[in-house]
Structure formats: C-alpha cells, structure tokens
Amino acid sequence: MTDLTGLTEQSDLIDRYDPLDPETLKDPYPTYEALRALGGPVWSDRLDSWVLTSYEHCKRVLLDHENFAADWRRAGETVPDVSLSVHTFDPPEHTGIYGVLAHSLMEMASDGLAKRARAEIAARLDALPAGPVNLVTEFTEPLARWFIPQALGLPEFELDVIRPIAAAITQAMDGGLVPSARKPGVEAQGKLADLIETWVEELEPGAPLRELVDRATEAGIPRAATMNSLRTLVVNGFTAVPASLGNALHALARDPRILKEQLGDPVTLDRAPHEFFRFEAPIQGTTRLAVRDTELAGVQVLRGQGVLMMFAAANRDPAHFTEPDRIDLGRWPNHHLTFGYGAHACSGSILAHMLLREVLTVLLERGAVLRLAEPATYKKLATVRTLEILPLEITF
C-alpha cells in the first residue's frame, strides 16, 4: 500500500498557507521553515504557482532564463506595454537596460550623496519628539522619500500626487492574491511613467538622470522601456528602501547588542546592510513562468505555470546559511537572494544599501540606544514586508 501521509501533510500545509493571514504577517518564518522541510517545490492552488522555499531551488530558477521567464510574454501571457521594464525583460533584451541603470546608479551613489544623507539622517533624528514615536511615519518613510529624489536628481516628491500612485503599484504586486489590485496598478504605472517623462524633460543637460536616459537612447533602448525602468527606482522609495530601514531598526531594537557589539569598523558597516536584507527581506519573493515543460527538483513544471521563489525563506535556509535565524554582521560572503541573483539582481539595491549603511553609521557614531515600546505591526502586504507601526524610542 502507498504511504499517503507525507502527501496529505504537504497538501494540508500549502492549503493553509495564506501570506496575508495576520499570524503569517506577524511572523512568516515558522511557516517558511515548515514548507522548506517538505523538501521540494509544492503546488499552491491559492497562489496558482509552485512554491519554492530552499536557497538551491530559488537560485536555480533565477539563473535559468531558458526555462523560466521574467518576461511572461515568453510563456504566452499578455503583458501591458507600461509594465515592461528592466524587471520584466529577459536576456539578451534585459542586458542593455540593466547595464545602463547599474552603471549610472553606481555613479550616483557618490561620497557626496553619502555625506548629504548622513547630515539629513542626523537632522531627522534630532527632530524626533521625546519618547516613543512611530518611526515608520516619523523617520523611515520620510527619509526614503527624501533620499530617492536626491540620489536620482529629481525634484522633491509631491507626496499628494506620488503617494496614491505608489500605493496602487505596491498593492498590484499582490495581484495574484488580490486580482482587483491589478488594473489600478497598471494605470498607476502609466501615470508614474508620464510623470518621470516630464521630470526628465525639465532636467538640465548633464544632470545624472538625463545622462542615464541619453545613454539608454545611445544603446538603442526604447524610451518607454527606460521610463518604465526609472519608474521602478522611484517606487523603491515607497517599498524596498523604507521597508529595509524599518526592518533593520526593528531588529536593532529587539537586540541592542547588535549595534554595540557587532558594528565598529568600516568594513563591517559596509557589509552590515546585506545581513539585515538577508534576515528580514523587504521583498519576500517573486514569480517566474515556465517557458516550456521542464523538471525542477523532482516535480514536472508545465509551460505557463508559475514558480514563486520565496526569497525570505531561502535567506533562512540552514543548508546555505549557518545559524540563519541569528543576525551576524560578520557573515561574509553573504549571497542572499533579497534583491534577486545574477542577471536580474535589482540595480536599486545600490541605493537601499547606501541609505541603510549611512543610518547605521550615524546611529553608531552617536551611541544610539533603541528601545521598542510595544510590539511592532506589519502592513497587510504579501510581496513587500514592511512595518506599519514601529513604536520606538531612540536616545543618545
């Protein structure tokens, strides 16, 4: 007789898995551990995808552009033109725009920008009211929304205009769970791309972002693709960048020894953001579609089926990371998957890394003490893991 116990347990676990469940939002890692213990990809009807939680399997899919597509058109899906960007193209089409973005962002992430960021961070910390405050609304989100325009050379965000657009795009990242969010997200993408077009046209020749667009044009990259790709950088100011700041500060408040005992030298300060990105990934995962029927880790994936790579689970895989549930700022090399891997590694991670490094630098230089006043709460989002309330007190 065939033993169906394992199959039953697997089915029950994946059927119960709901990324938007309040308990999962509070702490998804026990669920990720249980899914990873099943040993391979698991099919979820709720997510309409194979779910991958091991580091090895996620990395394999990220590197296999022949069989698994970021560009869903290759698997027979229709993708709105406004959604085509550096994140949705595959090599070789992807290579040109990614190279231009990465090169330009490395130039933008200058010592001058780092110095301005440190001064802004110090000023915003000094302006915090006494006692516990919600650091999300009082520090991390405002800082990120100041920093991204500074880095890209854009005018200061008009938040009344940008905030609802960014919110719609962020909600659409959960379109597989909330289908009603898809259409508003596509419409918001178009609005933001149009805004960026206006901003770029108003820039003086020689401005960093204007030069980025000119380089892309010279490389033969369609202007629409460039604008759409710049849109993803702007949205980072409302998603991954503030999320990574809040998640790191939350971790420091829960264990003050990290700041006192693990930080100190410039090398560790530069590496530390990667460990915070690994430990609490601001982007929980992303999906590829199978281009053709293919075998993956013992299961048959059919053309057009989704493969959801849970980066946050892979980043806690003990088969790849020693003591994965512990923050170790000396962990190096640290090949986490938070911002992807290989050709599709997110170029915006350059800016997220810089800002978190400068926040840590200022906190360390000023001998900051972080105290969590009460438990933090997370926004009801599946793709972006970001805090809604971080009741924190910072003293010097």
pLDDT tens track for 239-297: 999 999 999 999 999 999 999 899 888 999 999 999 999 999 999 999 999 999 999 99
pLDDT of res. 25: 95
pLDDT band at 115 (very low <50, low <70, confident <90, very high): very high
Mean of pLDDT values over 34-52: 93
3-state secondary structure of 214: helix
Residue 322: how many CB atoms within 10 A of its CB?
Answer: 8
Spatial contact of 382 and 312, defined as CB atoms under 8 Å apart: no
Spatial contact of 86 and 101, defined as CB atoms under 8 Å apart: yes
Paired residues of 378 in beta bridges? 387
- Closest to 280 measured CA to CA, from 302, 252, 301: 252
Average pLDDT, rounded, for the chain:
93
The runs of H, that is alpha helices, within the chain are 5-16, 22-26, 29-37, 55-63, 93-108, 111-126, 135, 141-152, 159-172, 182-202, 208-218, 223-236, 240-254, 257, 266-279, 311-314, 349-365
Intra-chain end-to-end CA distance of the chain, in Å: 67
Paired residues of 288 in beta bridges? 307
Written as one letter, the residue type at 118 is: R
The fold adopted by the segment(s) 5-390 is Cytochrome p450 (1.10.630)
Residues 6+ apart with CB under 8 A from 291: 66, 67, 68, 69, 74, 75, 303
pLDDT of 1 strictly over 50: no
Instruction: Tell me which H or E stretch contains 51.
Output: strand 49-52
**Cis ω before 333 (30° cut-off from 0):** yes
Mean of pLDDT values over 131-138: 96
pTM score, two decimals? 0.94
pLDDT of res. 339: 94
Tell how far CA 90 is from the center of its chain: 19
3-state secondary structure of 204: coil
298-311 per-position pLDDT tens digit: 999 999 999 999 99
Spatial contact of 169 and 192, defined as CB atoms under 8 Å apart: yes
Q: What angle do CA 285, 356, 324 make, to 5 degrees?
A: 50
Question: In the chain, where are the structural domains located?
Answer: 5-390
Range from 150-154, 353-357, 376-380 carrying the lowest mean pLDDT = 150-154
pLDDT of res. 182: 95
Owner of token pair 């793709």: 383
- Closest to 125 measured CA to CA, from 139, 114, 105: 139
pLDDT band at 129 (very low <50, low <70, confident <90, very high): very high
pLDDT of res. 343: 75
Q: Classify residue 173 by its DSSP letter.
A: T
Mean of pLDDT values over 356-375: 96
pLDDT of 9 strictly over 90: no
- CA dist list (Å): 202 to 12, 156, 195, 333, 376: 56, 13, 11, 42, 41
